[in-house]
Amino acid sequence: MKLGTPATGADFFGRDQEMNDLWHYLESDHIRFPGVRRLGKTSILQRLADDAADHGLFAKWLDVSNIDTAQNFVTLLDQVFPENGIKRFLDDRAQQASRWFKRIQKIEVNAGGVGFGMEFSDDPAKMWQKAAYELYARLQSQPLLILLDEFPVMLEKLVQRNREEAGQLLAWLRIWRQSQGACRFVFTGSIGLQSLLERHGLGETMNDCYSYPLGAYSRKDARGLWRHFAPIADPKTSWQVEDAVIDHALSRVGWWSPYFLSLLLDESMRAARDRLEECPASATDEARIEVADVDDAYEKLLAERSRFHYWEQRLKKSLEPAELDFCLKLLTVLSRSSDGLTQRQLSSRLSRREPDPDRREQRLQELLVRLTDEGYTSPPDGDSRIQFLSFLLRDWWNRNHV
């Protein structure tokens, strides 16, 4: 059972419906695959890459978060999809690739009939455009699956460095996607891609992709994760756990992210082991996780100041000081309410930080969109109430920031 790193092999659990859906939509579309942090997006991308050859696609998973120029992005794609690598794949997987082409045969492959609308020049700053066109001409008709992880992080860097170049790169990718070739892109990341595009006036550049947002586990999969891993995750003990205990754990976590569920299970096994070591007379032939172990584990997670420190540090890195102060106060106020608050209630509680009501509403709305995109807060529910997605993160924030 992986904690904080991508789940691969036997550690990958559930997500059967999501995998089936993604392969279905890939037959006809490129995909935007948004999802907040700690939902297992990277694990799913890596599973797509592992399974791609059986579907007839030569796949590469690429973390592009460190890319900050269009030239570097084009160079990366050129390097990871060499001509000889594609040829070897087609020789080894000819039958599977043939089936892929048959599934998408309703799509016309057009290797060179799309105009890019780019004027190539000798300007070194724009030489990437010529390389980009050559790359497109070489790859777009090939059965490739290009899995771009943390694409919004890359895009934000590009926009900050050179917005014009970022727009040109997005236009190039859009033309590639609309060329109706056999290649497929999947764009994902934990920063909200669409809100980022809209903030910079680029909202129409990726509306041709099919949007498939990743959600939390269903109750069935959330319970299944605990049932599956409790007996096998601890190398020394096969833990038993009753459904009532699992349901109690789910109620405490609140948001059924694979990461938070696994984190609480791991800590609950530790708490159960400590309990049995302290009271050997209570041990039975079957080691069991009890409700009290879950509650003890929850408290231990909250007591570790560094456990969720990244969530705070991420905001400090991405927000200007004045906006950061307003955001931290917003989250602190929200952490005090177990039932959440309406936007009007939040606005009232933030009036001292921003006296001007119109400006306060604008700042609040912009921050809530961002915090929702990045997994801190929920969208408004049926009663217009907003709350922390993760109860663990809410209670940690309340304990460390009030």
Residues 283 and 394 in one domain: no
Spatial separation of the C-alpha atoms in residues 234 and 268, rounded to whole Å: 11
Residues paired with residue 386 on neighbouring β-strands, in sequence order: 341
Order of strands across the sheet that contains 210-211: 58-63, 144-149, 184-189, 31-34, 210-211
Domain end, chosen from 303, 325, 350, is at: 303
95 lies in the same domain as 243: no
Give the CATH number for residue 191.
Answer: 3.40.50.300
- Determine the pLDDT at residue 108: 44
Residue type, 33: F
Residue type, 76: L
> Would 4 be classed as within a structural domain?
no
Q: What does the block give as tokens for 395?
A: 């209670």
Q: Are residues 47 and 195 in the same domain?
A: yes
Do 166 and 249 belong together in one domain?
no
Q: Do 163 and 241 sit in the same domain of this protein?
A: no
CATH of the domain at 378: 1.10.10
Neighbouring-strand partners of residue 188: 33
> Is there a single domain that holds both residue 372 and residue 237?
no
Alpha helices, DSSP H, located in 27-162: 41-51, 70-80, 83-92, 94-103, 127-139, 151-161
Other beta carbons within 10 angstroms of residue 273's beta carbon come to: 17
17 and 164 together in one domain: yes
Separation of CA 187 from chain center: 10
- Supply the range of the domain harboring residue 267: 219-303
Three-class secondary structure of residue 27 per DSSP: coil
Q: Residues 225, 334: one domain?
A: no
| Number of domains observed in the structure of the chain | 3
Angle formed by the axes of helices 243-253 and 258-278, nearest 10°: 120
| Token pair of 40 as six digits | 């297992």
* pLDDT (tens place) for every residue of the chain, 402 residues total: 667 677 878 888 889 999 999 999 999 999 999 888 888 899 999 999 999 999 999 999 999 999 999 999 999 999 999 999 999 999 999 999 999 998 887 544 443 444 455 554 556 557 899 999 999 999 999 999 999 999 999 999 999 999 999 999 999 999 999 988 899 999 998 777 887 888 888 888 888 999 999 999 999 999 999 999 999 888 888 999 999 999 999 999 999 999 999 999 999 999 999 998 887 655 555 789 999 999 999 999 999 888 888 898 889 988 889 899 999 999 999 999 999 999 999 999 999 999 999 999 999 998 998 898 888 999 898 888 999 999 999 999 999 886
What DSSP state is assigned to residue 204?
A: T
Whether 23 and 158 map to the same domain: the answer is yes
Q: Among 273, 295, 268, which residue's Cα sits nearest to residue 283?
A: 273
CATH at 232: 1.10.8
Same domain, 274 and 346: no
1 in any annotated domain: no
Quick check: 141 and 181 in contact, CB under 8 A?
Answer: yes
DSSP line for 283-347: --SS-B--HHHHHHHHHHHHH-TTTTHHHHHHHHHHS-HHHHHHHHHHHHHHHT-TT-EEHHHHH
6-43 b/e (C-beta count within 10 Å ≥ 16 → b): bbeeeebbbbeebeeebbebbeebbbbbbbbbbbbbbb
Q: How far, rounded to the nearest angstrom, does the alpha carbon of residue 311 sit from its chain's CA centroid? A: 14
Are 160 and 193 members of one domain? yes
| Residue 284 confidence (pLDDT) | 52
